[in-house]
Amino acid sequence: MVIALVLVPALSEAFTGPTGESQVSVRALATAIVLTLGKIGMFIALMLIIGRRLIPWTLNMVSKAASRELFTLAILTIALGVAFGSAELFDASFALGAFFAGLILSESKISHKVAAIPFR
């Protein structure tokens, strides 16, 4: 489902073209699919390699400060930063970036502290 959500905007651009007319080019379609899957693959690889190490380390350092407000701010900054970065750098949706940030946050050793914060 995630792949379908990522490919739909890219395919719509490939089908309409830059002039807005309905045109279908196999080359444009293949290019759109390859570029989109490449960008999303780079984003997932970045999140799996760097995100699994950097985000838990950052949360661990922030939790040592024993400030609940700072911890909440760090969580919000990480989640919104990953979501915004995925949208701007990799042309993924904001929601997909937030989803991956949530996955990384939930896998950290202090995820019970993250889950205890009421976000309203």
Stretch (H or E) spanning 8: helix 2-16
Q: Model confidence over 8-26: pLDDT tens digits? A: 777 777 676 555 566 666 7
Extract the tokens encoding 109.
């050793």
One-letter amino acid at 48 equals L
Could you read off the pLDDT of 82-98 as tens digits, one per residue? 889 888 888 777 888 88
Q: For 68, how many CA atoms within 13 A lie in the half-sphere containing its CB?
A: 5
Q: Three-class SS of residue 69?
A: helix
Q: Is 118 helix (H, G, I), strand (E, B) or coil?
A: coil
Burial class (CB in 10 A: 0-12, 13-18, 19+), 82: buried
Q: What is the pLDDT of residue 87?
A: 83
Q: What is the pTM of this model?
A: 0.72
